Amino acid sequence: MSRKKTPRSKGAGTPAANGPRPARSGTARPGPDAPPNGSLQPSRPSLGGGDFYDVAFKVMLVGDSGVGKTCLLVRFKDGAFLAGTFISTVGIDFRNKVLDVDGVKVKLQIWDTAGQERFRSVTHAYYRDAHALLLLYDVTSKASFDNIQAWLTEIQEYAQHNVVLMLLGNKVDSAHEHKVKREDGEKLAKEYGLPFMETSAKTGLNVDLAFTGIAKELKQRSMKAPGEPRFRLHDYVKREGRGDSCCRP
Ligand SMILES: Nc1nc2c(ncn2[C@@H]2O[C@H](COP(=O)(O)OP(=O)(O)OP(=O)(O)O)[C@@H](O)[C@H]2O)c(=O)[nH]1
Ligand SMILES: [Mg+2]
């Protein structure tokens, strides 16, 4: 698929001119209340940042450049879509969102990584702290789908062995440009035992669901009450995930 050329921003951290994109900073660091490396530890309610929470987790967005990681995050955080010029993320950036999961305040610290090859070593350094990974491909780009195996190899090498992982086929709204069939995504996900959904940062399809599913899984792993039925992420996304019936060929 042909992608829009990536304009260079006028320096790291320069916000996009066309919308409320997160600052692209190559030097982003977790806030002082970030959970420590790789541990699922209940956090204290935070009084400083205005976001009360009971538990906090780190979620990382990974996948090729241009698949829609930043747009997915902005859709989830702000309910908006970043249309227009594609401004590639530089280094790594993050945003927080607190969700109510069955009465428990779950804070997700979501790391938006740069898909470009030249930032790969930056991304590697963050894998080990991630409790969950959302691995994206673009349904209009066969290359981004073909690269999923390489991403999985990288994840295996750098992430925690028990990291929660979900595969997402983004841009499902692009009705006439589909290069990757839903069945192919499903097949690959099945092969690797991953929960899978098609999403659209543009329409919002399945975006909240993906993050909510991750939050539910992480919350239960860290504080499952005795007798509470086990939450199954696979079943949840299968049951709740919507198809893009309006736009499928
Ligand atoms: N139609 C459609 N376009 C999308 C969607 N998500 C993202 N885009 C477009 O795809 C382009 C790339 O989106 P980004 O979110 O910046 O991609 P990225 O994965 O963050 O790319 P890097 O930061 O380089 O890794 C932009 O032009 C977006 O407007 C979607 O769900 N549907
Ligand atoms: Mg980005």
Q: Which atom of ligand 1 is nearest to the CA of 113?
A: 25
Q: What is the pLDDT of residues 35-86, one digit of tens each?
A: 433 344 444 554 445 569 999 999 999 999 999 999 999 999 999 998 888 9
Q: Which of 200, 205, 32, 186 minimizes the C-alpha distance to 109?
A: 32
This model of the complex carries an ipTM of 0.99
Q: Is residue 66 in contact with ligand 1, taking CB distance under 6 Å? A: yes
Q: What is the mean pLDDT of residues 83-92?
A: 91
In angstroms, what is the span from residue 67 Cα to ligand 2's centroid? 8
Residue 47: count of CB within 10 angstroms of its CB: 8
- In 38-120, DSSP assigns E strands to 55-63, 92-101, 104-113
Q: Which residue puts its alpha carbon closest to atom 30 of ligand 1? A: 171
In angstroms, what is the span from residue 54 Cα to ligand 2's centroid? 29
Q: Which residue puts its alpha carbon closest to atom 3 of ligand 1? A: 171
Residues β-bridged to residue 62: 135
Q: What is the pLDDT of residues 137-195, one digit of tens each?
A: 999 999 999 999 999 999 999 999 999 999 999 999 997 888 999 999 999 999 999 99
Q: What are phi and psi of 100, to 5 degrees?
A: -95, 115
Q: Which of 173, 180, 191, 211 minimizes the C-alpha distance to 74?
A: 211
**Which structure tokens are listed for 82?**
């970043």
Instruction: Assign residue 40 a region (left: φ > 0; alpha: ψ between -120 and 50; beta: otherwise).
Output: beta
Q: What Rg, from alpha-carbon coordinates, does the chain have?
A: 17
pTM for the model: 0.83
SS3 state at 144: helix
Q: Which residue puts its alpha carbon closest to atom 29 of ligand 1? A: 83
Distance from C-alpha of 220 to C-alpha of 41, rounded to nearest angstrom: 12
Question: Is residue 108 within 8 Å of 121, Cβ to Cβ?
Answer: no
Q: Is residue 65 in contact with ligand 1, taking CB distance under 6 Å? A: yes
